[in-house]
Structure 1
Amino acid sequence: MRTSTRRSRGLVVFAAVAALATGALAGCASDSDDGSSNSDGGNGDGTGKTTLTVGTFGVFGYKQAGLYNEYMKLHPDITIKENVTTRTDVYWPKVLTRLQAGSGTDDVQAIEIGNITEAVQTQAAKFVDLGKEVDKSQWLDWKNAQATTKDGKLIGLGTDIGPMAICYRKDLFEKAGLETDRTRLAAQWKGDWAKYVDLGKEYMKKAPSGTKFVDSASSVYNAAVGGEKEMYYDKDGNVVWDKSAGVKKAWDVAMTAATSDMSAKLKQFDKPWDQGFAGGSFATVACPAWMLGYIQEKSGDSGKGKWDVAAAPTAANWGGSFLGVPTAGKHQKEAVALAKWLTAPEQQAKVFAKQASFPSTPSAYSDLKPAAGTTAYFSDAPLTQIFSDAAKTIPTQYHGPKDQPIGTAITDIGILQVEQKGKSPAQGWDAAKNEIKDVLGQ
């Protein structure tokens, strides 16, 4: 499984949950964080076979699902080595350096969603145009759009995505006198995250002792902004975060949560947040598909059957990656074939079956089956249907090269100033604005 320091994505684990900790997940092989690599540069392994290296971060699940071994059995002339860097904030700068040098890249290179726009806008010439090699209709349109240049070059094939839902503690809802049926509950907040927050006000009127409605205002912000077409950049690539209607809407709803008593005021992925799951201290969390495994692990046996899942107010995405093929590779033809195979619907379904990274290929959805134990944990919710319905209606968003640090400044500085330090929304906004100016070099 994998996370990033900006927490844009993690790993869904519908089946068995592996160890998960922000920015510190062990990989399959190792491309150490100091830049050294265990690969042989793709020059062969001394057996006459062609060695292909796959550069990833965290855990993509290909080794765990047995895909490398399966591919090598199908192609006896190929040997695959995976080079893993644990943290994306270490991985991507290293990839950029190697792309610029024109050497040292892996034959197949993973690209995280937070970096795909930078790759598209500044590194497209360094990647093979995969649009000429595949049937693009296999992937969701909005997923393809994220990896496509203005002149139509597709530099990456979609791996997983992070469609959004709301995970909620139905036992706490019942004690607070709220609706517990997932369908009727989703209808109450459908179409507007402000309705979700309004329900939080109702929850707090009869909240079970020691509980809050939501884990954090940042959670609300990330979920709400993830469904907006325009966030930090407009369609022409201009920075518009401070003028964006989508950002303002998400900020306002997050501020409602931050300035009320409904938030547990926890920073996501920190230890107190983990303890909040274990102790049942909050009743809801905006959860992309990959978060289900995290909840299952952190809530433990005591949460089984108490958690349920409902459709989110609006379709939104939080997370995802791509596989690209650098032009500097010595085995481009073989690398393209491997990237195509790893991201094909059949293989995405196999990774889902192992660790439930949600596919970006809709033809796989009809056959996806969460593990029985996970379905039971979340009160027999129709998990595949909820997340696949969301995936199909997520809007195509405009992204820019500084999406990641801009979003982090808003959540980890601006919102936390209000939520944890008692600053006003205006002061929180100004704090985020000052940080973003530094990020943008203004």
Structure 2
Amino acid sequence: MRDVRVTGFAHLAGACIARGLLLGAAGITAHRLDIGVQMRSIRRSLAVLAAVVLTAVTAGCGSSDSGDADGKITLNISTFSEWGYAGLLKEYQKLHPDITIKHNRFATSDEAKEQFQTALGAGSGLADVIGVEGGWMQQLLKHPDNFVDLTSPKVEGRWKDWNTKLASTADGKLLGYATDIGPQTIAYRSDLFKAAGLPTDREKVAELFGGDDATWDDFFAVGKRFVDARTGPAFYDASASVATSWADQYRVLWEDPKTGDIIADKNKDLRNIYDTVTSHEDLSAHLARWSEDWVSAFQKDKFAVMLAPSWMLGVIKGNAAGVRGWDVADVYPNGGVNSGGSYLSVPKQSKHPKEAQALAEWLTAPEQQTKAFKASGNFPSQIEAQKSPEVQKVTEPFFNDAPVGKILTERASNITMVPYRGENYFAIAAAFNDAINRVSVDKTHSAKESWDMFVDALDALK
């Protein structure tokens, strides 16, 4: 699938469609981030995936029976979109002839989340191993007694602390093995930069944005230089995506981790992000990511820069097919930020928890994560896998032969934490996105009016 045509919540919901988009000549594909916002428009657009997806229902996803008469057992694993597991599961069964694996694949993580919630509430119907989007890992942490503690000496040191912390309870239980992450980069049109009198070489572009000391002030300053050249295109595609990416660099913005209280409307950092982004509307193409206009803009030279997680590179390639000039710079404002990522968890509903944990452990080992990266483009969360020659040598012809393996590894090394996302995160973030878009896309309200509407929306949630 090369052309994505959907509408909806820009940075937060759209990424769920990214798995399955071709990322490079090496055969890797793009990853996604689905934060769980349920949108009919996205489901319609994802219907094309149905031909390659085994859609699982609650009964079909459930844990296997205790075993076959001949002593063999069957393990069910449920994932969504494309994880690059087809070949790996066949390999595992060859290594373990007494185990048969049934793989249930949902079209989207939204569908997987719905089935997860239904089966968790019913007390049955979950697979032996379930793929969990990082955005809804918090739901598992609220019900730790329903999941196997996967803590094991065998996996110590596999992941960065921030990655395991997202799947860990307060008392140290590990409820998920990380599979992949989404380190952010800056993708840019070198031809449009050249027309504006800016550097085009990716190393010089990284320096232009501030290099290792890059800040958001630097980012907007480069944008001003670009638009002041008056060559036509806007600097970046979507204001809401810039704001959301910036917000992801703060540990606490939306809710108080201790009390669960909504604090976004009173958070000075979030207000600064909002005010800064809405004051730079002259840099924006006024698009909503994943909208029809956004998709078509790739072919019309409407913007020069995108903040792009690893999985977004495949989306760009698909939407900008035939367009030359795209490149990737190893730089990001304020260091690093993660956008996306998933985990494998084992519900206590499983009749074979030890075997299920062993499968999850094997699938997330560096050797297997490297193979999954080659098959799907999902950037490994495993530290050793990131440093492997197989990952480091990956280049992308569409992005001027950019060494994306090395760039993504470097960007990943700059990620130090992930934001806290509580029970109301999705609703709050959607309201924030709407506030930005009323100013930038719809142009129906002033920044102050739209912020006041955001505050009203949060009051309704309290």
Is this a same-fold pair by TM over 0.5? yes
Does the CA contact (< 8 Å) of 1:124 and 1:155 recur in 2? Answer: yes
What CA deviation, in whole Å up to 9, does each residue of 1:171-213 have, x standing for no partner? 000101112232332233333223212221211112433x111
1:269 to 287, 290, 301: 290
What is the letter of the counterpart of residue 75 of structure 2?
L
Does the CA contact (< 8 Å) of 1:172 and 1:283 recur in 2? Answer: yes
Whole-angstrom CA distance in 2 between matches of 1:62 and 1:178: 42
What is the letter of the counterpart of residue 167 of structure 2?
A
Q: 1:149 to 1:167 in 2, by over 3 A?
A: same
- Give, in angstroms, the shift of residue 46 of structure 1: 7.5
Aligned to 1:319: 340
Aligned to 1:201: 224
Residue 6 (str. 1) matches residue 13 (str. 2): yes
Does the CA contact (< 8 Å) of 1:144 and 1:158 recur in 2? Answer: yes
Q: Secondary structure at the match of 1:311?
A: coil
What CA deviation, in whole Å up to 9, does each residue of 1:287-321 have, x standing for no partner? 00111111111111223x54333411121111111
Aligned to 1:358: 379
Q: 1:394 to 1:371 in 2, by over 3 A?
A: closer
Output aligned runs, 1:19-38, within 5 Å: 22-23=42-43, 24=46, 26=49, 29-32=53-56, 35-38=57-60
Output aligned runs, 1:362-441, within 5 Å: 362-367=383-388, 369=390, 375-397=396-418, 398-411=420-433, 413-422=434-443, 423-438=445-460, 440=461
Q: 1:370 to 1:269 in 2, by over 3 A?
A: farther
Does the CA contact (< 8 Å) of 2:392 and 2:405 recur in 1? Answer: no
Q: Can you give the 5+ residue segments of structure 2 that lack an aligned partner in the other structure?
A: 33-40
Does the CA contact (< 8 Å) of 1:31 and 1:37 recur in 2? Answer: no
Whole-angstrom CA distance in 2 between matches of 1:101 and 1:45: 25
Aligned to 1:221: 243
Identity of aligned residues (%): 33
Whole-angstrom CA distance in 1 between matches of 2:426 and 2:97: 41
1:156 to 172, 176, 180: 176
Aligned to 1:177: 197
Paired residue total: 430
Q: Secondary structure at the match of 1:56?
A: strand
Compute the RMSD of aligned alpha carbons: 2.8
Does the CA contact (< 8 Å) of 1:37 and 1:83 recur in 2? Answer: no
Whole-angstrom CA distance in 1 between matches of 2:297 and 2:395: 20
Aligned to 2:112: 91
Residue 343 (str. 1) matches residue 350 (str. 2): no
Q: Normalized against structure 1, the TM-score is what?
A: 0.89
Q: 1:75 to 1:249 in 2, by over 3 A?
A: farther
Whole-angstrom CA distance in 2 between matches of 1:368 and 1:419: 43
What CA deviation, in whole Å up to 9, does each residue of 1:142-186 have, x standing for no partner? 100101111111111101111111100010001011122323322
What CA deviation, in whole Å up to 9, does each residue of 1:364-390 have, x standing for no partner? 122254698952221232322222122
What is the letter of the counterpart of residue 441 of structure 2?
Q
Q: Secondary structure at the match of 2:396?
A: helix
Aligned to 1:166: 186
Q: Normalized against structure 2, the TM-score is what?
A: 0.85
Higher mean alpha-carbon deviation, 45-54 vs 194-203, is at 45-54
- Give, in angstroms, the shift of residue 341 of structure 1: 0.8
Q: Can you give the 5+ residue segments of structure 1 that lack an aligned partner in the other structure?
A: none
- Give, in angstroms, the shift of residue 60 of structure 1: 1.8
